[in-house]
Structure 1
Amino acid sequence: MGLVGLAVALGLGAPTASAAPVRPGWAVVAVDQESRSVLLLQSAEELMAYRRPDRLPVVWSWSADRAPDLADLAPAHSWSMPDEAKSRVRNGRRYLLTAASGGLVAAVDTATGGTYWAADTGAANPHSLELLPDGNVAVAASEGGWVRLYAASQGSRSTAHAAYPLPGAHAVHWDGRTRQLWAVGTDTLTALRVGGTPAAPVLTAVRSVALPERGGHDLAPVLAAPGRFWVSTAAHLWQYDPAGGRFTRVRLGDEAAERDIKSVGDEPGTGRLLTAAPDHAGACSWCTSVLRLHRPDGVRTLRGTQVYKARWWASWGG
């Protein structure tokens, strides 16, 4: 089923041809384990005003189940429990970066729906990925306990890679300011230097700092304070300042909303936070159907979904 077919099945209009931000404000991308899809949703303002429980406010979507060029990677199995969705821009083209606990990781050209690069990591439980300026792709896998930098620039199925061991690896982010790859694991936040060549990359640890508490999960740039990072742990939300080497706890309006955050990020220009955390209300104990906004606070329930992560559809890179 193509994008238009999925939209009809969900009771939507035809999705837009591209995944550009919806105005006003920034669109939101969510990875939904119920439909096994990445869903691009309307802006936060429109989400908060939406009162149509029979329809999901989806304007664009993608699923490995409907990607013919991924058939060789057996998405019926490898695309089980999708768990990541990010937007990145490289050389003027926007890419969806997505992963699934079943093993699949992919970078998808949002203009064409075609796959730039993809791989099946097997039982490693990949949780996040990142697109580097040279076209290579970094992947963090929690069960594998590693960060890998794949030579994706060498071909759409390239499996050559450099590796760095990181127990409980859950997230990766490329910091263009310092040209370092940051990764968060169960207990540590690590900065990696990328060396070698695009065809034969090398990863070397530059700095590793202990998290303020266990259970590191998400890692994202603080757009309102360049150089800092959002870091979520099992119990709280933090900001990390590499210049000062300090973690600062971020307090939300409801302390319960700080627990077990799977994804976090601030909206460009406004600074509003968007978080996704399990609501413990459905069959999926690690998912949610509720997206939370902070500063100002607000919630939006997406009926019938089992969302693992939700992010602003914002990009950086070039």
Structure 2
Amino acid sequence: MKTLLLAASMLMTLACKRDSVAPSASNNTQSASVHTEATPKELIICDQKNARIIMVDVANNNTVTWEWKATASYAMIRSGAQGWFSNLSEAKLVYNGSYILATASGGGVALISVSSKKAIWYDYAGGNTHSAELLPNGNVVTASTTGGYLMIFTVDSYINDNSAQTAPISFQDVHNVVWDHSRQLLYAAGKDKLKVFSYNNSCDAPALTLKKTYTMPEGDAHDLFPVYGSTTDLWLTNSGHIYKFNVTTGAFTLVKTTSAVKSVDAGPSGYANIMAQANGVGGETWRTDRILDLSGNIVYQNASIGLYKARWRVVNTFSYPTGDKFHECTHP
């Protein structure tokens, strides 16, 4: 009996360690989860070929640990709106890892509970929606490439596909959008421009104000995402390059010359810097079946998928406050 009790105690201790958080040793880095050998090392993948978002544990035989489809009953998306989620284009972990903010080229945007897989809010942004971002009052801003515009939605978990929204905010070929929690600014890039906006944090009349515009070294901006562990740098990709953009100096630093990178990401110690680089899998020129590190080594590969973007399943404290919990303007 003592042996059994001791074993149970050790298991409980290990479980607690998996959820513990250690503060960063430097003011210039984000806090990071403590990672033990037992901790999953998961990718969040937009698998367009199979119309789903999946999480894959690359430290455990590439096991699929989670799957979401707009057509599944658990998603609670009405049948007439399910087509909005064709060609899923972005899946960001938000609210301290409890939700995923997803977009699709079909025009859909959704806030999905990881535990229940229910889309607690969704709507239609249109225009080949490529990205979305969570704003500090719970509203969501989307980036649509066709027609070139940003749009702010008032998130109301009691109202789906009929949310209050702003008029389109013109931005040619905009492909991305990132919030900076520390500076309370929004960044987005399209063509050869990276723009910085402030947000009025209004529930009744949300609005963005353009503060600054940077000209990129080359055009065709695609991915924009915080560099894990940095309070100043964003990954930025275009048709032939990967950069780091410093939000305080405005400098673009070339990291790698390479083509067709749809997403780039990093994680804590032991996590590779990864990229999703289109290789035309299945005849779709913008998809791939693998995730590479920045040296070109395969981190994950699955011939049965056609993925677009991938992120590590780690909390993003560049964009959101530590311990951030779900909230909305309409029901605080």
Common topology (TM > 0.5): yes
Q: TM-score range by the shorter chain?
A: 0.7 to 0.9
The 1-side partners of 2:182 and 2:270 are apart by: 22
Q: Which amino acid in the other structure matches residue 135 of structure 2? A: L
Summarize the alignment of residues 162-201 of structure 1 with structure 2, pairs less than 5 Å apart.
163-195=168-200, 197-201=202-206
Deviations 1:21-51 (A, max 9, x none): 99435310101111100010003x34xxx4x
Shift of 1:134: 1.1
The 1-side partners of 2:106 and 2:149 are apart by: 16
The 2-side partners of 1:195 and 1:162 are apart by: 15
The structure whose Rg is larger is 2
Deviations 1:197-246 (A, max 9, x none): 12320111111101110110000011232211100011100001122211
CA contact (8 A) 1:222 1:229 kept: yes
SS at match of 1:74: helix
Could you say which residue in structure 1 is the equivalent of 2:3? none
Could you say which residue in structure 1 is the equivalent of 2:113? 109
Shift of 1:295: 6.5
Summarize the alignment of residues 96-245 of structure 1 with structure 2, pairs less than 5 Å apart.
96-122=100-126, 124-153=127-156, 155-157=158-160, 158-161=163-166, 163-195=168-200, 197-245=202-250
Q: Which amino acid in the other structure matches residue 127 of structure 1? A: H
Pick closer, same or farther for the CA change 1:282–1:93 going to 2, 3 Å.
Answer: closer
Pick closer, same or farther for the CA change 1:314–1:196 going to 2, 3 Å.
Answer: closer
Summarize the alignment of residues 272-287 of structure 1 with structure 2, pairs less than 5 Å apart.
272-287=272-287
Moved more, 190-199 or 292-301: 292-301
Pick closer, same or farther for the CA change 1:26–1:200 going to 2, 3 Å.
Answer: farther
Pick closer, same or farther for the CA change 1:28–1:154 going to 2, 3 Å.
Answer: closer
Could you say which residue in structure 2 is the equivalent of 1:259? 259
- 1:33 corresponds to 2:84: no
Percent identical pairs in the alignment equals: 27
Match of 1:62 among 68, 71, 76: 68
Return structure 1 stretches of 4+ with deviation > 6 angstroms.
none
Pick closer, same or farther for the CA change 1:62–1:269 going to 2, 3 Å.
Answer: same
Q: Which amino acid in the other structure matches residue 109 of structure 1? A: S
Moved more, 32-41 or 158-167: 158-167
SS at match of 1:144: coil
CA contact (8 A) 2:199 2:206 kept: yes
Pick closer, same or farther for the CA change 1:165–1:40 going to 2, 3 Å.
Answer: same
Shift of 1:73: 4.5
After TM superposition, the score normalised by the length of structure 1 is: 0.82
Q: Which amino acid in the other structure matches residue 118 of structure 2? A: G
SS at match of 2:71: helix
Could you say which residue in structure 2 is the equivalent of 1:71? 78
The 1-side partners of 2:159 and 2:176 are apart by: 22
Pick closer, same or farther for the CA change 1:307–1:137 going to 2, 3 Å.
Answer: same
Task: Give the gaps of 5 or more residues in structure 2.
Answer: 1-18, 20-32, 325-332
Shift of 1:196: 5.2
The 2-side partners of 1:270 and 1:132 are apart by: 30
The 1-side partners of 2:259 and 2:90 are apart by: 19
Pick closer, same or farther for the CA change 1:170–1:296 going to 2, 3 Å.
Answer: closer
Pick closer, same or farther for the CA change 1:261–1:289 going to 2, 3 Å.
Answer: same
The 1-side partners of 2:97 and 2:314 are apart by: 13
CA contact (8 A) 2:136 2:201 kept: no
Q: Which amino acid in the other structure matches residue 86 of structure 2? A: S
Q: Which amino acid in the other structure matches residue 147 of structure 1? A: L
